[in-house]
Amino acid sequence: MSSHSKAPVVPSNPFIEQEFGSVEGLLEFCHRLPKLELHAHVNGSIPPEALRQLAEKRASETVDKGEAAKGALSVLDAIAWKSEFDIKDFFPLFKHIYGLTNDPESLTFVMHSVITDFENDGVRYIELRSTPRDDPSTGLTKESYIQSLLSAISTSPAKNISVKLIVSIDRRHTPEVAQHIVDLAIKYRDQGVVGIDLCGDPYAGDFDAGPKDAIVRAKAAGLKVTLHLAEIQNRDEENRSMLSVFPDRLGHATYMSDDVRDKVYKDGIPIEMCMTSNVLSRTVESYEVHHIKQALEENHPSVLCTDDKGIISSPLSYEYALAASTFSMTKRLLYDLSRRSINAIFADDIEKARLADLWQAWADREFSRATNS
């Protein structure tokens, strides 16, 4: 098996040397910086070591589950691809992971690994998202899937991170399934569910004929909504229809026509930016031309996120470091970017105030230290 790929290389330049001393200094700062993660898919965020452990455990079990293990090991192999990768190669990987994360025990293991992994990277608040699934082979239902994730959140050993759940609808889901998922999100909203996401292969499904009505109902019920929008080109009609449901945040928002971008910017809808994921899946050519550049220049609310950290191998601290290196961002600008992301969270004002205090205390220590030294 090929070895697992490394996190992206953060290039140095004179600005980085002046502001952070070195790339190591930059990475150390970005690791220490308190961060929020608002766009992370659970099954795409499983640390490779955890996936391997799960696969090895399954391989030692029944014949059928051994097949699932083989599939997952092939994902670990695929993770070493990088240079030949494309967004169309991405979605088939998940069916292999799903063969392993299909009962409460494995879901708990996975959630604990994912949460601890983000905590260890200095993430202090996370909204994890996941698509509820049935699996007749284990008796898993969409409802027991959500219950398993929520119960894993409450038993997580990670104590320095606050965790919420966004329930995802897949673009391939029928309107009935989408409505059922919204029912479940409403049912569990007092237990940690904060919103609904629309995700999945952007080449599949049809927003108007599929999940739109369910998402309108979710909004009417007071749930927050985030939509993967414009991840690929030539979806202008769909993008306009998506904006008509008043999403609270957008994922990616890469290929917006002028009128769509004008509306998104005018309405100040925060965008979850996943730079490495976009570059590796080739929906964006390079970090330098990533659309976060324009958003930062125009002061549009932008949140740095990882998307599928288990597959793309880039922790959130690296996304900050890459932004600093690419767009010459100072320590203060990185802090402000992270701090402003608090405004975009789906949790209530009490949680926002708690986080604001946490961030302020960090800044007081960090920046007075810098002034005093």
Which residue of 102, 131, 179, 306 would you call a contact of ligand 6MZ, by CB under 6 A? Answer: 131
Two structure tokens written together for 299: 């002061």
Residue 200 within binding range of ligand 6MZ, rule CB under 6 A: yes
Tally of CB atoms within 10 A around 368: 10
- Establish how many alpha carbons lie within 13 A of residue 333's alpha carbon, considering only the half-sphere containing its beta carbon: 16
Interatomic CA distance for residues 168 and 128, integer angstroms: 10
Residue 308 within binding range of ligand 6MZ, rule CB under 6 A: yes
Residue 156 within binding range of ligand 6MZ, rule CB under 6 A: no
Of 90, 86, 9, the residue nearest 43 (C-alpha): 90
Three-state DSSP state, 41: strand
Two structure tokens written together for 369: 């230290």
In whole angstroms, the minimum distance from the beta carbon of 236 to ligand 6MZ comes to: 18
Instruction: Decide if 231 is catalytic.
Output: yes
Tally of CB atoms within 10 A around 358: 16
Is the Cβ of residue 34 or residue 210 nearer to ligand 6MZ in the bound state?
210
Catalytic member of 231, 238, 272, 319: 231
Is the Cβ of residue 29 or residue 145 nearer to ligand 6MZ in the bound state?
145
Interatomic CA distance for residues 118 and 100, integer angstroms: 21
Residue 338 within binding range of ligand 6MZ, rule CB under 6 A: no
DSSP string of 220-289?
A: HTT-EEEEEE-SSSS-HHHHHHHHTT--SEEEE--S--HHHHHHHHHHT--EEE-HHHHHHTTSSS-STT
- The amino acid at 351: E
Two structure tokens written together for 170: 């897949």
Of residues 71 through 90, those in contact with ligand 6MZ by CB under 6 A are 90
Is the Cβ of residue 33 or residue 100 nearer to ligand 6MZ in the bound state?
100
Residue 277 within binding range of ligand 6MZ, rule CB under 6 A: yes
Residue 228 within binding range of ligand 6MZ, rule CB under 6 A: yes
In whole angstroms, the minimum distance from the beta carbon of 170 to ligand 6MZ comes to: 5
Residue 145 within binding range of ligand 6MZ, rule CB under 6 A: no
- Establish how many alpha carbons lie within 13 A of residue 97's alpha carbon, considering only the half-sphere containing its beta carbon: 28
How are the residues of the chain apportioned to helix, strand and coil, as percentages rounded to the nearest 5? 55, 15, 30
In whole angstroms, the minimum distance from the beta carbon of 132 to ligand 6MZ comes to: 8
Is the Cβ of residue 281 or residue 313 nearer to ligand 6MZ in the bound state?
281
Is the Cβ of residue 6 or residue 95 nearer to ligand 6MZ in the bound state?
95
Residue 168 within binding range of ligand 6MZ, rule CB under 6 A: yes
Of 341, 372, 334, 371, the residue nearest 356 (C-alpha): 341
Alpha-carbon distances of 67 from 54, 63, 101, 140, 303, rounded to whole Å: 13, 7, 13, 18, 38
Is the Cβ of residue 27 or residue 283 nearer to ligand 6MZ in the bound state?
283
User: What residue has token string 């699996």?
Assistant: 135
Tally of CB atoms within 10 A around 169: 28
Q: Check if the beta carbon of residue 369 is closer than 8 Å to that of residue 330.
A: no
- # chain residues binding ligand 6MZ, by CB under 6 A: 18
Of residues 281 through 300, those in contact with ligand 6MZ by CB under 6 A are 281
Of residues 10 through 69, those in contact with ligand 6MZ by CB under 6 A are 41-44
| Per-residue x/- track, 88-127, ligand 6MZ (CB under 6 A) | --x---x---------------------------------
Which residue of 19, 121, 170, 238 would you call a contact of ligand 6MZ, by CB under 6 A? Answer: 170
Residue 226 within binding range of ligand 6MZ, rule CB under 6 A: no
Residue 239 within binding range of ligand 6MZ, rule CB under 6 A: no
Is the Cβ of residue 130 or residue 325 nearer to ligand 6MZ in the bound state?
130
Applying CB under 6 A, which residues contact ligand 6MZ?
A: 41-44, 90, 94, 130-131, 168, 170, 199-200, 228, 231, 277, 281, 307-308
Q: Give the catalytic positions in this structure.
A: 231
